[in-house]
Amino acid sequence: MALSYAEAVDKLTVEAQNQGAVYREQYEMCSILKASGRMAKDAVRSPETTPKFDTSAMDGYALNSELTANATAESPVIFLVKGMIAAGDEPIPAFGDAGLDGVYPCVEIMTGARFPETFDCCVRIEDTVSFSDESSDRCYIKVMRPAKPRQHRRLAGSDFKEGDVIISAGAVISPAHIMAMASVGVTEVEVLRKPRIGVFSTGSEMQPAEATKPNLHRIRDANGPHIMATLSDWGVDADFLEVLDDNADSMVKKLLYHITEPKYDIIISTGAVSTGRFDTVPTSLKRLNTRVVFHRIAVKPGHPALFGIIPRQGDRCSGSNGIAYFGLPGNPVAAAACLRFLVNPFIKIFQDQQLEVPLRARVRSEEIEKTDIIASSENCAQLLSTFPPDKDVFRPGISHRLSDGEMGVTLIQDHSPSKVKPFAASNCWIHIHRGHTELRAGDMVDVFLN
């Protein structure tokens, strides 16, 4: 009896935790400008308290609010404008006493300018009337209503406190985190290095995707480009190694090279993973003393999938146990399913991330989609597909937002592990869990976006 998908994920999780222990201690310095999407190794804390000084939140006049307590339109309080402070200006010297004429001073202040110590609040320009005395060349303002203490004044220390956590250890860095780091003067951050993955395609009938002279008896490798593009979107460092013939000797030789120089955390191959006589992956892995964690699981498509740990050769420094090896099926849609549902969870756990939580979507038949009617009774709802009871099934689908904000999904009907055309028209995977034997229009399903 083949392993169930849930059991396979449990095993992947344990191995990813173990294999990833050493990896997760490996980091590199990264400019905050390049840090979006990277994982913070440790918590990032603010080295300072911000803002460092009080600033004005408005364009207006800095003055002492106490003096405006009795201000009214009929009896405004008059202030002498003693100068102007713009954003970025040096602080001005203290002055606050009334002149000989009994008129108290104020200072014109711009948004973002450092607040003078002697004044407590800002009155907006539009809440004042200014006038000037031509004989003395002095400027004055009238304030027509009481100002609140500290109004329109942004207080020092009201944003970050020294030691505040900006990013938790292991969190994926977002542009908002980058804004925060920039605001407190953090210019670099320790991030986990990206996982390194080597990708092979296998099959004597395969020619590399970039081969310009087509061979009539061969088919093109579509797995290599698909896996490389997907891994790149997932933010890992991936190298496409080559297309290998169905020959165990040359495969062992190639694998030995890549595990002796421990460049990769994970190796992925497609094809040659069943139990036929040209299925060189199991044979080659055995010769490399691979600990096979599972081979063949109860999923559709993708049942031949193999996962094991190859011991590293000549690796004296990293101390990790080995290299994770995913032998995916050769059929492109089966390989894509295994990449999404086996390799992706492993990479997440390997990096100490949470497993992806599926979206929930309502299944619609194409007819229902057109007429926008959802069958209300489960018994009479249209049967869309049936499934084997003992397998987890992954079906390509097309998801779309419905007018009420809910997510709808239609199944790709003409699906097959080997057919690329229907898969290229899909934008998500529908996961039908083991034990669910049918899907009817209106059912809710788990959806993973591509």
C-alpha–C-alpha distance, residues 208 and 339, integer Å: 20
- Binding segment for a second copy (CB under 8 A), chosen from 93-101, 143-151, 161-169, 284-292, is 161-169
Which residue is listed with tokens 């579509």?
222
Tell me how far CA of residue 144 lies from CA of 59, 152, 290, in angstroms.
17, 17, 84
- Smallest distance from the beta carbon of 181 to a second copy, in angstroms? 8
Q: Which residues lie across from 79 on neighbouring strands? A: 104, 141
Choose which of 274, 290, 320, 351 interacts with a second copy (CB under 8 A). Answer: 274
Interface with a second copy in residues 292-321 (CB under 8 A): none
- Smallest distance from the beta carbon of 275 to a second copy, in angstroms? 8
- 189 to 228: interface string for a second copy, x by CB under 8 A: --------------xxxx--xx-x-x-xxxxxxxxxxx-x
Ramachandran sector of residue 435 (left: φ over 0; alpha: ψ -120 to 50; beta: rest): left
Choose which of 74, 90, 101, 372 interacts with a second copy (CB under 8 A). Answer: 90
Interface with a second copy in residues 357-386 (CB under 8 A): 357-360
Closest CA relative to residue 346, chosen from 267, 440, 242: 267
Based on the shown chain and the rule CB under 8 A, indicate whether residue 418 belongs to the binding site for a second copy.
Answer: yes
Dihedral pair phi/psi, residue 39, rounded to 5°: -105, 125
Which residue is listed with tokens 């713009």?
86
Query: In what helix (H) or strand (E) does residue 202 lie, and over which residues does it extend?
Result: strand 196-202
Q: Which is nearer to a second copy, 18 or 49 (CB)?
A: 49
- Smallest distance from the beta carbon of 104 to a second copy, in angstroms? 23
Based on the shown chain and the rule CB under 8 A, indicate whether residue 175 belongs to the binding site for a second copy.
Answer: yes
Choose which of 43, 94, 179, 374 interacts with a second copy (CB under 8 A). Answer: 179
- Binding segment for a second copy (CB under 8 A), chosen from 47-55, 128-136, 252-260, 386-394, is 47-55
C-alpha–C-alpha distance, residues 337 and 270, integer Å: 12
Choose which of 423, 430, 432, 448 interacts with a second copy (CB under 8 A). Answer: 423
- Smallest distance from the beta carbon of 209 to a second copy, in angstroms? 4
- Smallest distance from the beta carbon of 12 to a second copy, in angstroms? 21
Q: Which is nearer to a second copy, 155 or 373 (CB)?
A: 155
Based on the shown chain and the rule CB under 8 A, indicate whether residue 59 belongs to the binding site for a second copy.
Answer: yes
Size of the site for a second copy (CB under 8 A): 96
The answer to whether residues 270 and 293 touch, using CB atoms and an 8 Å cutoff, is no
Choose which of 22, 78, 103, 125 interacts with a second copy (CB under 8 A). Answer: 125
C-alpha–C-alpha distance, residues 149 and 123, integer Å: 10
Choose which of 6, 98, 176, 374 interacts with a second copy (CB under 8 A). Answer: 176
> What is the per-residue burial (b if ≥16 Cβ within 10 Å, else e) of 29-56?
ebebeebeebbbbeebebebbbbeebbb
- Smallest distance from the beta carbon of 292 to a second copy, in angstroms? 20
- Smallest distance from the beta carbon of 313 to a second copy, in angstroms? 30
Geometric angle at alpha carbon 86, from 85 and 89, rounded to 5°: 80
Closest CA relative to residue 243, chosen from 276, 210, 279, 215: 210
Based on the shown chain and the rule CB under 8 A, indicate whether residue 86 belongs to the binding site for a second copy.
Answer: yes
